[in-house]
Amino acid sequence: MAVTRDLALQFAQMLVVLLLSPLLTGFVRKVKARLLRRQGPPLLQPYRDLIRLLRKDVVLAESASWLFRAVPYIIFAATWVAASLVPTFRSGLMFSWSADLIAIIALLGSARFFLALAGLDVGTSFGGIGSSREVMIASLAEPAMLMIVFTLALVAGSTQLSTIAAYIVSGAAGLRVSFGLALPALFIVAIAENARIPVDNPATHLELTMVHEAMVLEYSGRHLALIDLSSELKLLLYVSLIACLFAPWGIAAPEADAQALALGVVSYFGKLALGGALLALFETAIAKMRVFRVPAFLGAALMLGLLATLLLFVSGTL
């Protein structure tokens, strides 16, 4: 009985993250539009976009290979598995012990590896621009993320997300300096990984201002739908991750009853809304950086993460 319940909850989590991610993106766009005194697209527009793309033909470049056609599925699979392992409304999911935080980050890294390859596949210069900039950004964002993981793991004594979340909820961690350093670093990394302003502009289709959009320039139809869904999933993953690590109150414990689960779901929706609104506010308030200022920006995140880890190595109470 408990096994079937756990299994059902794991599947519920997978479906929830899949269905909610376009809604989060639609919410962020709506808030941004309102901040700019526009009406903005309706909240459910991303769903309509996905359905429209699914119905269209795929137009494939003549020089595209089998890898180009396989990559959207690979990216989607990796991102969906990673998103399913981040606790949203309940911690201690059935398969959460199979991949810890490092493995989740590495899964996202696999997705990015294949996306960069897809950018190079057709043999145009735009794909090359996107891929080369993407790997430059990744070369700094991934180490910064790993340093943040180290900070959290050194405090909580484990790299398992559920254990970390449970530790922070229990209040044993307190308000630590290293957490205060890791939070801005995680925020910067999340911005870079999700291709938001100031690192990349998700709304533009102008060649020289884009990184992510340049890599997927040649995609169309159902492939583009899958890639868009994957990036929306990734945004949801990062917002859930920040909520789970730094604001874990309300997440249902592994042995919780229906009431706690309902509370978990409601608090999760609230955190998503808050996160989306903050992201929209931040994106509206700041301008996009020149590409070669991004390494300094991400280098700051790496330094913050390294400083937090160093403080924890030197003194266990920091």
Partner 1 sequence: MRGNLTFDIAHLLAGSLVLVSFLQLYQARLYALLNIYALHALVLAASVAWQAFVQGAPHLYVTAAIALVFKAIVIPVVLHRIIVRLGIHREIETVVGVGPAMLAGMGLVALSMVVMLRVTPGADPLAREDLAFALSVVLLGLLMMVTRRNAVSQVVGFMSLENGLVLAATGARGMPLVVEISVAFSVLIAFIVIGIFLFRIRERFDTVDVQALDNFRGERR
Partner 2 sequence: MTVVYALCGVAALLAMAPAAIALSASARSTATVYGASLIVTLTLAVISLICLLGYLPRSAVTLPLGLPWLGAHFRIDALSAFFLVVVNLGGASASLFALGYGRHEHSPQRVLPFYPAYLAAMNLVVLADDAFSFLVSWEFMSLTSWALVIAHHRVAENVRAGYVYLLMAGFGTLALLLAFGLLAGGHGDYAFDAMRAAHPPMLLAGLVLALAIAGAGSKSGVVPLHAWLPLAHPAAPSHVSALMSGVMTKVAVYGFVRIVFDLLGPPDWWWGMVVLAIGGATAAMGVLYALMQHDLKRLLAYHTVENIGIIYIGLGLALAFRVHDMPLAAALAFTAALFHVFNHSIFKSLLFFGAGAVLNATGERDMEHLGGLIHRMPQTAFVFLVGCVAISALPPLNGFVSEWLTFQAILLSPQIPAWGLKFLVPAVGALLALSAALAAACFVKAFGVSFLGRARTPAAAHAQETDGNSLAAMYFLATLCLLAGILPGIILDALAPVTQSLVGSGMPHQAGLQWLSVVPIAEGRSSYNGLLVFVFVVLSGSVAAIAIHRLASGKLRRAPAWDCGYPDPSPATQYTASSFAQPIRRVYGASIFRAREIGEMPPPGSLAAARLTVELRDLIWEGAYARIAGFVGFAADRLNVLQFLTIRRYLTLVFTALVLLLLVLAIWP
Contacted entry of partner 2, partner 1, none for residue 19, CB cut-off 5 to 8 Å set by kind = none
CA angle 63, 68, 73 (to 5 degrees): 165
Measured between alpha carbons, how far is 39 from 33 in angstroms, rounded to an integer?
6
310 is a contact residue toward partner 1 (CB under 8 A): yes
318 is a contact residue toward partner 1 (CB under 8 A): yes
Contacted entry of partner 2, partner 1, none for residue 221, CB cut-off 5 to 8 Å set by kind = partner 2
How many chain residues touch partner 1 (CB under 8 A)?
22
Contacted entry of partner 2, partner 1, none for residue 283, CB cut-off 5 to 8 Å set by kind = none
CA angle 107, 25, 73 (to 5 degrees): 40
Nearest to partner 2 of 31, 137 (CB atom): 137
77 is a contact residue toward partner 1 (CB under 8 A): no
Smallest Cα–Cα separation from 68: which of 57, 78, 77, 58? 58
Contacted entry of partner 1, partner 2, none for residue 300, CB cut-off 5 to 8 Å set by kind = partner 1
Give me the least distance between CB of 291 and partner 1, in Å please: 16
Please, what's the largest Cα pairwise distance for the chain?
A: 60
175 is a contact residue toward partner 1 (CB under 8 A): yes
Nearest to partner 1 of 1, 314 (CB atom): 314
Measured between alpha carbons, how far is 223 from 74 in angstroms, rounded to an integer?
11
Segment holding 44, helix H or strand E:
none
Give me the least distance between CB of 306 and partner 1, in Å please: 6
Decide: 223 and 58 in contact? Cβ < 8 Å: yes
Tokens describing residue 228:
């868009």
177 is a contact residue toward partner 1 (CB under 8 A): yes
Tokens describing residue 21:
């991610």
Nearest to partner 2 of 34, 293 (CB atom): 293
Contacted entry of partner 2, partner 1, none for residue 172, CB cut-off 5 to 8 Å set by kind = partner 1
The strand pairing partners of 252, in sequence order, are 90
- Give the CA dihedral 200, 203, 207, 208, nearest 10 degrees: -30
Nearest to partner 1 of 246, 269 (CB atom): 246
Contact set for partner 1, span 41-60 (CB under 8 A)? none
Q: Which stretch in 44-52, 143-151, 201-209, 304-312 sits in contact with partner 1 by CB under 8 A?
A: 304-312
Contact set for partner 1, span 155-174 (CB under 8 A)? 171-172, 174
The strand pairing partners of 90, in sequence order, are 252
Provide the 10 A C-beta neighbour count for residue 63: 11
Contacted entry of partner 2, partner 1, none for residue 312, CB cut-off 5 to 8 Å set by kind = partner 2
SS3 208: helix
Nearest to partner 2 of 120, 273 (CB atom): 120
Decide: 221 and 102 in contact? Cβ < 8 Å: no
Nearest to partner 1 of 26, 248 (CB atom): 248
Q: Which amino acid is at 251?
A: I
Measured in whole angstroms, how far is the alpha carbon of residue 287 from the centre of its chain? 21
Give me the least distance between CB of 102 and partner 2, in Å please: 6
Smallest Cα–Cα separation from 265: which of 20, 95, 1, 79? 20
Interface residues toward partner 1, by CB under 8 A: 171-172, 174-177, 180-181, 184, 296, 299-300, 303-304, 306-307, 310-311, 314-315, 317-318
